[in-house]
Copies of this chain bind each other. A is one copy, B any other.
Amino acid sequence: MTSSASTPALIALDWGTTSLRAYLLGADGLALDTRASSAGIMKLPTGGFDQAFEETCGAWLDVHAQLPVIAAGMVGSAQGWIEAPYVETPAGAEALVAGIVNVKTARGVTVHVVPGVLERGALPNVMRGEETQIFGALASDASLQGQGGALIGLPGTHAKWAFVSDARIERFYTFMTGEAFGALRDHTILGRTMHPSATHDEAAFQRGVDTARDAGHPGVLATIFSTRTLGLTGQLSAEQQADYLSGLLIGHELRGLNEVLARQQSSLTGRTLRLIGNDALCDRYRAALARFGCHDAATVAHATERGLYRIAAQAGLVPQPHAPVRAA
Please report A residues at the B interface, Cβ cutoff 8 Å: 118, 120, 122-126, 158, 173-177, 179-180, 182-184, 186-190, 211, 216-226, 229-230, 232-233, 235, 249, 252-253, 255-257, 259-260, 263
State whether B217 touches A123 (Cβ < 8 A): yes
Please tell me how many copies of the chain the complex holds: 2
Question: Roughly how many angstroms separate A257 CA and B120 CA in the complex, as a whole number?
Answer: 30
Question: Roughly how many angstroms separate A182 CA and B189 CA in the complex, as a whole number?
Answer: 12
Contacts of A218 in B (CB 8 A): 173, 175, 253, 256-257, 259-260
Q: How far is the CB of A115 from chain B (nearest CB, A)?
A: 14
Contacts of A253 in B (CB 8 A): 218-219, 221-222
Q: How far is the CB of A148 from chain B (nearest CB, A)?
A: 20
State whether B124 touches A232 (Cβ < 8 A): yes
State whether B233 touches A124 (Cβ < 8 A): yes
Q: From A182, A187, A189, A255, name the one whose CB has the most chain B CB atoms within 10 angstroms.
A: A187
Contacts of A188 in B (CB 8 A): 176, 179-180, 182-183
Question: Roughly how many angstroms separate A126 CA and B233 CA in the complex, as a whole number?
Answer: 10
Contacts of A249 in B (CB 8 A): 221
Q: How far is the CB of A228 from chain B (nearest CB, A)?
A: 8
Q: How far is the CB of A247 from chain B (nearest CB, A)?
A: 14
State whether A232 touches B126 (Cβ < 8 A): yes
Question: Roughly how many angstroms separate A228 CA and B259 CA in the complex, as a whole number?
Answer: 23
Q: How far is the CB of A237 from chain B (nearest CB, A)?
A: 15
